[in-house]
Chains A and B, each alone.
Chain A
Amino acid sequence: MTRSFEELDELQWELDDLAYHQIRVLLLVAAVAAEPKHNRKLDGLTKLAKLDFFVRYPALATAVLDDLEPDERMHLSEEDLSNPTTVQDPMTRYKYGPWDDRYYPVIGALVARGLLKYGTGARGSVSLLPTPLGKQLATELAGDGVWHEVADRCAAIAEASRGMTGNALKELIYERLAELMDRPHRQVIS
């Protein structure tokens, strides 16, 4: 089957976009699993989405997680602070807080590539943890100039959210960012 250049270009964008999200999620899961108080795993998709929200909206993370400020690992510029919702990858407001539809293919791809594996979560839910290959890649990425800021943020957020469940994080977001969450479902948070 022959594809046109435009079709191939579009496919490449899509693949790179998915790859981009996979790398970030891998870094986040690796950072959380490296933190003993998270039981060395990322427990549940809700928790993943909330912690990812902090990675993607770093200026808002400081408003919710008390232990984050001041933390140079967040790499916040003046522009980040003055426009905290103008970000690279906005999320969508769902019933249970910020969410991204790409989590399912992203996690599926990471597991299929052998970078993450499923574990047993609390109350029968699923948990994620990096494979030795995943850990190795995450370590490499942390030393990569393109990714080290993202890796720093993931580490800082994993540390600041120690001992908190996905639900607790959701409650805290609704409490601290009430105005931002007071918008219709399926609307982009920007």
Chain B
Amino acid sequence: MTSRFRIDQFRLETVEGPVTYNFTDDLTVLAGDTGVGKTTLFELIKFALGGDGLIAPVAAKNVSEVHLSIQVGTERLQLSRELDGDRRKNMRVTDLITGDVRPKVAVSSDKETTVSGILLSALGLSTTMRAAARSPGSSRKGALITFYDLFKYMYVPQAAINQDIAGSRDTYYEPKRKSVFELLFGLTDAEVLDMQSELNDLNGKVAEANREAETINQFLTHSGMKLRIDAELALAQAIKEEKEGQDALIHLASEVEEVVDRETQVLRELLTDSERALNDAQELVSSLDREEAQYRAERHQVEQDITRLHQMASAGQRLANIEFVVCPRCTQSLNQRQVPDDVCRVCMQHDSVKNLTRGQYETAQLVDQVEEVDLQLTVIAKQASDAAEAVQNRRNLVSSLTAQIERRTANRVTPRLQAYTDAAAKAARAKAQQEHLEEVLQRWDRASDLQTVAETLESQRSALKTAIGAAKSALDERRRSVLSQLTDEFATTVAAFRIPASQGATIDPKTYLPLLDGQPFNQVSSAGGIATATQVAYWMSLVAVAIRLNDTAYPAFLMIDSPRLAVSSTEDISGQMYSRFVTQVGVVPNRLQFIVADNEMPKDYVRRFTEFKFSYEDPTISTVEHPGPADVVPLTAESDPA
């Protein structure tokens, strides 16, 4: 069997040219003091696989692109990724067997084709697996399992080595960590994971159906209808009542109409006629008034003319005897001279106007005219009086008819109006009641539908539970065997590492995490780097059992960052660790790959395996000059050796 996962080459494009590392041996050690760039290199490898590696400032500044040549399943691929800005969102994947370059591949997990998908497929794993929570009430399908979840079992970063195992400190991550463990050791498969997701989804749907059913039941309880038949009967009654109301309305309308038609209508017609006659009479009065005013004005004018005539005559007479005493031209006195009779005193001509008397013809004419006008006024006065009487009579008739009509309609219509209002209210009430009851019946229908849905869902859920149970029991034997082997291997390794565990070292069958004396590894005293040693023992055990079983999906690849950091003073543990590495790779040559960052490789193994030696003068990214140990900024706080 070939390797499931192996790094062949890692190349960095830098400003000063490429830097290449070939990983030809099963064990490769990156040796050198703290700060020479080992972690930087490991994080760049993670980045090259499409992960979110921590990019050191020196790399961000000097490295433009990384290329990782890997064997994964039966494929050989080169993954290329640029570090620059937006370009890092996509990767170039080259098939090293065919030389084909695949179309741009997205890093982001929400795209159709992703690097994770390509790697999972190459490892023979489904790309649609979800890690559903196992708690009975859980209603979520769970998050999608990606290659980077697997990678937590392949890379032990420096920051995590004495802290957690594959993200075990994060409780939210628990379902995924356990699912991936089971997947890697064949304790579950895509089908079981799918069923578990489906079960959770059904849990959610059942809960939703129950919630809705509860709401509807509350509504139905408040409606006072305990049974559907009650609502149906009430609806029938409401329909009947509405019809009764409508019938009563029609009956009353016809009765009122009858009253109006037969008796009042005659009065109304009389009233209309009387009102018209009243209007005519009033118009006649107005026209007579206008006529009278015109005659009076005419008479006034004639009277004025008569007065004027009288005044003219009077003035003429008054002044006739008052002679001109001065000349209007020269103002000299006219009294001083003798003037013959019949001669004008001023012009001395024959006084033709003297003794002129005018007859009373004009005045007589005008007086006749006044008499005539008076006669007309008398006639008009008589007509006006008659018209005023007619107006009064018609006004009385109108008022009498109006009163009669009002009396009739008040007596006949008002009682019916009350009945009409009652009937209309009854019909409206019944109609509103019907609408309410129809809603109640719709809720009964909905409740019934929901019950059917809930029953179907329950049945599906039950079937699924059975199926999951069956699938799990089929795997029970393997599960017992795998966990037993893991525990044995772990106990042996812990013993070999001389890690103190008086009551035994085991793998927890529920959490799959290591226990020392029944305690989680990171809660045991970490004096002498026990936590780190325990974790290394755990990883070694996992790899050893996976190799031995030979039928797991475990990638048989482990990249450990500085395992001796905390255990450097304990040479025995360090020696045992390397002994294990060597033993493992010796058992199955070319099927297992360890890449270890360490201060140095033990001398015994230097000639048999690859050791890249680094120093401040010769750092991991050799094209970039190292600023010296004083200027090293650790990638994480945990990586600080101090």
B positions within 8 Å CB-CB of A: 293, 296-297, 300-301, 304-305, 307-308, 310-316, 318-319, 322-328, 346, 349-350, 352-353, 356, 358
Which of A8, A13, A111, A146 interacts with B310 by CB under 8 Å? A146
Q: Indicate if the CB atoms of B311 and A147 lie closer than 8 Å.
A: yes
Instruction: Report if A113-B353 is in contact (Cβ < 8 Å); known contacts: A16-B313, A23-B319.
Output: no
How many Å lie between the Cα of A114 and that of B323 in the bound state?
9
Q: Indicate if the CB atoms of B308 and A88 lie closer than 8 Å.
A: yes
Q: Indicate if the CB atoms of A77 and B353 lie closer than 8 Å.
A: no
Q: Indicate if the CB atoms of A12 and B323 lie closer than 8 Å.
A: no
Which of B301, B315, B325, B328 interacts with A19 by CB under 8 Å? B315
How many Å lie between the Cα of A86 and that of B302 in the bound state?
11
Q: Is A1 an interface residue (CB 8 A)?
A: yes
Of residues 99 to 157 in A, which have CB atoms within 8 Å of B's CB atoms? 108-109, 111-115, 133, 137, 141, 144, 146-147, 150
Q: Is A15 an interface residue (CB 8 A)?
A: yes
Which of A11, A80, A86, A146 interacts with B311 by CB under 8 Å? A146
Q: Is A3 an interface residue (CB 8 A)?
A: yes
How many Å lie between the Cα of A22 and that of B312 in the bound state?
10
Which of A11, A86, A146 interacts with B353 by CB under 8 Å? A11
Q: Indicate if the CB atoms of B304 and A19 lie closer than 8 Å.
A: no
Q: Indicate if the CB atoms of A79 and B300 lie closer than 8 Å.
A: yes
Which of A88, A109, A141 interacts with B328 by CB under 8 Å? A109
How many Å lie between the Cα of A89 and that of B307 in the bound state?
12
- Which residues of chain A are near B304, meaning CB under 8 Å? 87-88
Q: Indicate if the CB atoms of B322 and A8 lie closer than 8 Å.
A: no
Instruction: Report if A83-B353 is in contact (Cβ < 8 Å); known contacts: A20-B315, A112-B325, A114-B325.
Output: no
Q: Indicate if the CB atoms of A112 and B324 lie closer than 8 Å.
A: yes
Count residues on chain A whose CB falls below 8 Å from chain B CBs.
38
How many Å lie between the Cα of A87 and that of B356 in the bound state?
28
Q: Indicate if the CB atoms of B356 and A88 lie closer than 8 Å.
A: no
- Which residues of chain A are near B349, meaning CB under 8 Å? 1
Q: Indicate if the CB atoms of B358 and A144 lie closer than 8 Å.
A: no
- Which residues of chain A are near B350, meaning CB under 8 Å? 1
How many Å lie between the Cα of A90 and that of B63 in the bound state?
120
- Which residues of chain A are near B311, meaning CB under 8 Å? 20, 23, 146-147, 150
Q: Indicate if the CB atoms of A15 and B325 lie closer than 8 Å.
A: no
Which of B297, B307, B322 interacts with A82 by CB under 8 Å? B297
Closest B residue, CB atoms, query A12: B356
How many Å lie between the Cα of A11 and that of B353 in the bound state?
7
Q: Indicate if the CB atoms of B314 and A12 lie closer than 8 Å.
A: no
Task: Give the Cβ gap from A3 to chain B, nearest Cβ, in Å.
Answer: 6
Which of B326, B327, B353 interacts with A114 by CB under 8 Å? B326
Q: Is A17 an interface residue (CB 8 A)?
A: yes
Instruction: Report if A19-B318 is in contact (Cβ < 8 Å); known contacts: A12-B358, A88-B304, A112-B328.
Output: yes
Q: A15-B316, A78-B296 are in contact. List 6 more A-B contacts (CB 8 A).
A: A8-B356, A20-B316, A23-B315, A23-B319, A86-B301, A113-B322
- Which residues of chain B are near A1, meaning CB under 8 Å? 349-350, 352
How many Å lie between the Cα of A80 and that of B349 in the bound state?
44
- Which residues of chain A are near B346, meaning CB under 8 Å? 112
How many Å lie between the Cα of A112 and that of B311 in the bound state?
21
How many Å lie between the Cα of A20 and that of B325 in the bound state?
19
